[in-house]
Amino acid sequence: MNFELDDDQREILNAVNALLERHAGHARATALAQKVEYDHRLDTALADAGFDAAIDPLTLDGALETILIIEAVARAAGVTSFPAQALVARAVAGRAVAGPVALGSGDLQSPIRFGAHAHSFLFLVEGEARLARLDVGDAEPIASNFGYPFGRISRQAIARSESVGPQSGERLLNWWRVAVAAEAVGTMSAALDQTVAYLKDRRQFGRAIASFQAVQHRLAECAVRVEGSRLLVYEAAYQHAPEEASACAAAYALESARQLFRETHQLSGAIGFTREHSLHAWSMRLHALGTELSGVSGHRRALAAARWGTR
């Protein structure tokens, strides 16, 4: 057991944070959101820096290192399918998959995150992972208020898919759960930081709102949730996404995401709903992440099945 970052991990984090400072942030995310655009520039920067190819998530430390990058990208509100491409697709297919990558499960005609921009669509059907290559015209953009570009992928493109192989469905479920939980962690921590900064600054009744105990306790509870989520995600990634740990991390992190949305918005007041204030760049995403893989109830069902053999 060792909870400290090692030198490699620290170096990766420093490098990715330096890159994100130049290429991401809420202003960029907001600008892209207005055009329902994807951040190809950020993808290129991450690829040029070697973050997508240099780390193999199936090596001993690779998964955790990739998770650290995913968390950092989410904190910086990156509009990129890096988590799906660098972690999920690579771990499920065992090789690099052309990005951007969109992930799907359940009703494949529902809005798919990055669906309109993806070159690869990795999805789950009847317990099997399948991969479809998408060309121009295979998907159409869908307007959404939930912080990412979404698209609807044509049935024809889905019909052209190929199986990723035996047991690929379970691998997809488990790695996806870890990835989405890691995105939730980065997104939650940024939403909380943003809210804390605002409430320290904003004064009402002659004092900073953040000095009221009624407010402080709620923020402290949020902090407990963020910290717990992060550690569960790290552990699941370190163990290479076993079913129970992955479902547990996702169930806790996405439940936390709901609470973080509610609390950060409630405490930020009306300004929190505006486009000029940056909270929405993260907060709205929390609910988008919460819809994947049947959301919290789906993760909990999976956790109970793994733990107690329920169906």
Partner 1 sequence: MDFEWSEDDLHHRAEFQSFLRDFLPDNWDDLSQGGPGSDLQAEFSRTFCRALADRGWLTQHWPIEYGGQDAPPWRHSIIGEECWAIGEPRGPQYMNVNWIGPAVMRFGTEEQKREHLPPISRGEVLWCQGFSEPEAGSDLVALRTSAIRDGNDYVINGSKIWTSYVNHADFIILLVRTDPSSAKHRGISVLLVPTDTPGIEVREIPSVVGERYFHEVFFTDVRVPTRVRLGPEDEGWSVVTYALQYERVGAARYARAAFTLDRLAELARERGLLDDPLVVDRLAEARTLCEAARMLTYRVIDQRAHDLPPTTDTQIARVANTTADYRVGELAVEILGPDALEYGSFADANFRLAMTAGVAVGSTEVQLNLIAARHLNLPRE
**Binders in 197-216 for partner 1, by CB under 8 A:** 199-200, 207-208, 210-211, 213, 216
Which tokens sit at 11? 């170096």
Nearer to partner 1, 129 or 286 (CB): 286
Per-residue b or e along 53-66, where b marks 16 or more CB atoms closer than 10 Å to that residue's CB: eebbbeeebbbbbb
Which tokens sit at 237? 């990634």
Give me the sheet containing 128-133, strands edge to edge: 101-104, 120-125, 128-133, 162-163
Q: Which residues contact 104 (CB under 8 A, 6 or more apart)?
A: 112, 115, 121, 122, 123, 124, 153
Residue 275 in contact with partner 1, rule: CB under 8 A: no
Question: Considering the complex, what minimum distance in angstroms separates the CB of residue 194 from partner 1?
Answer: 13
Among 59, 217, 266, 273, interactor with partner 1 by CB under 8 A: 217
* C-beta separation of 181 from 293 below 8 A: no
Which tokens sit at 180? 């989405």
Among 106, 141, 228, 269, interactor with partner 1 by CB under 8 A: 228
**Binders in 2-61 for partner 1, by CB under 8 A:** 2-6, 9
What is the size of the binding site for partner 1 (CB under 8 A)? 45
| Packing angle of the helix pair 279-289, 26-34 (nearest 10 deg) | 70
Nearer to partner 1, 89 or 257 (CB): 257
Q: What is the DSSP letter of 311?
A: -
**Binders in 232-251 for partner 1, by CB under 8 A:** 232, 234-235, 238-239, 248, 251
Q: Which residues bind partner 1 (CB under 8 A)?
A: 1-6, 9, 64, 196, 199-200, 207-208, 210-211, 213, 216-217, 219-221, 223-224, 227-229, 231-232, 234-235, 238-239, 248, 251-252, 255, 297, 299-301, 303-304, 307-308, 310
